[in-house]
Structure 1
């Protein structure tokens, strides 16, 4: 598929082009079976208005159901409502998940005056960690890799203390991540606080 969002591929017939939906990747005629009908319709209307009119205009929908019996039309309407409700529920769940997802940018002290920056939680926003790791490495001219976390999942570990720079890059280029969903953690401060708490407990 094309990378420009048009999702057009050549078919076996050299004189024909087949359009694939940029949302569900199905041919637009089958978007209703993909579970994201509303978003598919919006994408098709924006990118292929003529095809949108042919498939989803009121006249087209009426023509498609005109040959059906009254009972079949009622079933079709019920099915369409169920699919729309299911798609809306799925979108709402995804929105709720994103609203509570957090990207954690953690500065970790390896040894005196040497740090690495670990970034986790990016996968919740649909970002490609390997691609983003390469972008971090190139942007900050340093080592960057994707590693597995003991708690499960993966994180990007960047050499050096680049916490503010990573936040700025994410906010500038990845608008799907709200600023309020980014959290900073300083591993050095956490260790210091734990040490102070342990010392206070020992005195008691």
Structure 2
């Protein structure tokens, strides 16, 4: 004889009220994380790993504060801080790390030219970074507008820096014009 089917038991989040497996799509996933770690650790194993990593970081910070953290000797070996010869550890090169382990490079002044397509046919060419070379953006937009017989204006970009928007697809032609007009700018 066939077994009688059992009803499905659904675990609902105590914070947002959604089923636990849908909390990540809810409005307050950050608030739900502690509850999920305690009540449903098998649904989100990445949260458990992150929590363990944070605890390990806190422990290593406490060890560094007390002076028992390992210090690198430069040859790959390490000694604990109490056994060091009293010389301060060499300063590590200060580099800004971004999420995902990427390293942010020092910004070099450069001109960036982008083509943005709107309404499937119309294009806008944006020129960013001319002001880093001492070029007045108002004068540059006038010259670009005259050269290509199109509208050009100085606008604030998404990063709150000024850029030049030129109507039309002139991305390839504007490179030659900029290098001829202002030879010291790097594209």
**What band does the TM-score fall into relative to the shorter chain?**
0.3 to 0.5
Bigger relative CO (Cα 8 Å, ≥ 6 apart): 1
TM norm structure 2: 0.42
TM norm structure 1: 0.38
